[in-house]
């Protein structure tokens, strides 16, 4: 029996003919892989993808040779994505060497693999040379899904943003499947691509006096609901008066923390996010559970983070800020805050090597719009990088370093220590931790 006859999901005539090889062996294998993936998750059919792709594998590394071999088959078959796409941050960039985050030798070792992989991505329709960031949905990058768009993204922080803030529809796919779904132009219909899958099984009641730290709030939500969909009340009221870009930056950081500390792919915020505005509490499933978050909940969440430094009392070596990548407003705010803190203490340079991470397009906009700030940052020893702090930490050469961050995603996947923004600021200026080393 042919594979096409074994498939349980409904297929169109066109899909069946691709499975029978009418477009050649590579599209046939791609569609077969997409269908097998969908069937494993109980998909009933394939949906046409309507938005541009964003892919998670951005790394040119000798360890991924098998994957590049598969991608080369796509290139050799002359395949190209329908719409220009974006990819996660580059692992290396000359700015890393400049900021002292990477040695020239490490950069030279990685460069040939990175260049070869980027050529493959360009052949498949990469948007442009600057299309490397996890915040592809920012204006400066321009891969902004529309409400209702069907996608097949994998980067967890981008998935949760696209679903929740923009009202697009994508599951949390994986590297490799994101590109295959996009080349096939189809996404298997299950979970977050269905109306039922987008309903909330948790009501999160936020009852804090003031707007909490986004990263801590996302962490508390993710740790409680894991992969379920939460419906959050009490947050929109605390955001009243905030400019739009501050709101979306907050939702970006909260979502990334919930997606990494748990596995949230979609959240609804009452009175704020598109589906909650349309449907309100009708989004809550019968029998939903309730979790109330107060200042005490957040303090307990923070206090329970494991201490992962090899030397707990070590003075920090490095501060990494911008996971997910900073928006332009956040980059400007961090720059001004760091420089103001230095001015207050009469210091010229930071006490701790510090890097701010943002999309290439955001860094270019900052460089063009804030030349004076840029010059001062350089003098103060603060680097701007379009790379990914997690890829930096995954380098075995860096795991032994004592690194602080304000990112809960980075804390979760590496040995970095999470600090609140004010604590990071103080540590960067003084070079030490309050009450510690």
List residues near ligand F3S by CB under 6 A.
88-89, 134, 157, 256, 323-325, 357, 388-390, 409
| CB of residue 117 to ligand F3S, shortest distance in Å | 16
Closest to ligand F3S by CB, 134 vs 152, is 134
Q: Which of 8, 122, 24 is nearest to 75 (CA)?
A: 122
Pairing state of beta strands 318-326 and 353-358?
parallel
Q: How far apart are CA 100 and CA 97, in angstroms?
A: 5
Closest to ligand F3S by CB, 11 vs 328, is 328
| CB of residue 291 to ligand F3S, shortest distance in Å | 25
Looking at the DSSP bridge assignments, the partners of residue 291 are 204
Closest to ligand F3S by CB, 79 vs 384, is 384
| CB of residue 1 to ligand F3S, shortest distance in Å | 42
Closest to ligand F3S by CB, 59 vs 184, is 59
Closest to ligand F3S by CB, 166 vs 388, is 388
| CB of residue 86 to ligand F3S, shortest distance in Å | 12
Q: Which residues of 313-331 are buried (b: 16+ CB within 10 A; e: fewer)?
A: eeebebbbbbbbbbbbebb
Q: Helix 371-380 to helix 360-369 angle, to the nearest 10 degrees? A: 110
| CB of residue 413 to ligand F3S, shortest distance in Å | 7
| CB of residue 272 to ligand F3S, shortest distance in Å | 22
Q: How far apart are CA 416 and CA 396, in angstroms?
A: 14
End-to-end CA distance of the chain: give it in Å, rounded: 68
Closest to ligand F3S by CB, 212 vs 324, is 324
Q: Which of 381, 402, 352, 223 is nearest to 298 (CA)?
A: 223
CB-based contacts of 241: which residues, under 8 Å, 6+ apart? none
Longest distance between any two alpha carbons in the chain, whole Å: 78
């Amino acid at each position: 029996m042919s594979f096409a006859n074994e498939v349980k999901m409904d297929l169109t005539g066109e899909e069946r003919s691709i499975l029978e090889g009418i477009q050649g062996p590579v599209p046939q294998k791609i569609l077969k892989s997409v269908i097998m993936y969908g069937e494993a998750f109980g998909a009933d059919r394939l949906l046409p993808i309507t938005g541009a792709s964003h892919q998670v594998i951005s790394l040119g590394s000798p360890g991924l040779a098998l994957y590049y071999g598969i991608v080369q088959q796509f290139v050799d078959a002359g395949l190209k994505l329908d719409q220009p796409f974006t990819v996660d941050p580059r692992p290396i960039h000359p700015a890393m060497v400049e900021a002292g985050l990477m040695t020239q030798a490490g950069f030279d070792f990685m460069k040939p693999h990175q260049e070869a992989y980027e050529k493959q991505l360009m052949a498949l329709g990469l948007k442009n040379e600057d299309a490397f960031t996890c915040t592809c949905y920012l204006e400066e990058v321009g891969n902004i899904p529309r409400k209702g768009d069907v996608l097949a993204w994998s980067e967890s922080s981008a998935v949760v943003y696209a679903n929740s803030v923009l009202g697009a529809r994508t599951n949390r796919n994986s590297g490799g499947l994101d590109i295959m779904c996009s080349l096939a132009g189809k996404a298997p219909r299950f979970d977050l691509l269905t109306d039922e899958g987008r309903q909330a099984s948790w009501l999160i009641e936020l009852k804090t006096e003031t707007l909490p730290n986004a990263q801590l709030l996302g962490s508390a939500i993710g740790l409680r609901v894991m992969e379920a969909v939460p419906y959050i009340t009490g947050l929109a009221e605390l955001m009243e008066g905030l400019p739009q870009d501050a709101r979306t930056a907050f939702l970006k950081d909260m979502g990334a923390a919930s997606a990494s500390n748990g596995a949230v792919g979609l959240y609804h915020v009452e009175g704020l996010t598109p589906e909650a505005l349309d449907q309100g509490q009708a989004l809550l499933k019968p029998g939903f559970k309730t979790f109330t978050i107060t200042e005490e909940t957040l303090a307990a969440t923070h206090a329970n983070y494991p201490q992962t430094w090899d030397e707990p009392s070590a003075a920090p070596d490095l501060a990494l800020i911008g996971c997910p990548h900073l928006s332009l407003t956040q980059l400007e705010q961090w720059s001004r805050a760091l420089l103001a803190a230095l001015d207050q203490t009469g210091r010229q340079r930071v006490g701790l090597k510090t890097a701010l991470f943002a999309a290439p397009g955001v860094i270019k906009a900052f460089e063009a719009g804030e030349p004076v700030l840029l010059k001062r940052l350089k003098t103060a020893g603060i680097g701007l990088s379009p790379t990914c702090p997690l890829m930096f930490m995954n380098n075995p050469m860096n795991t032994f370093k004592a690194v602080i961050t304000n990112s809960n995603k980075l804390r979760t996947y590496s040995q970095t220590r999470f600090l609140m923004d004010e604590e990071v600021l103080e540590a960067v200026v003084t070079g030490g931790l309050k009450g510690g080393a």
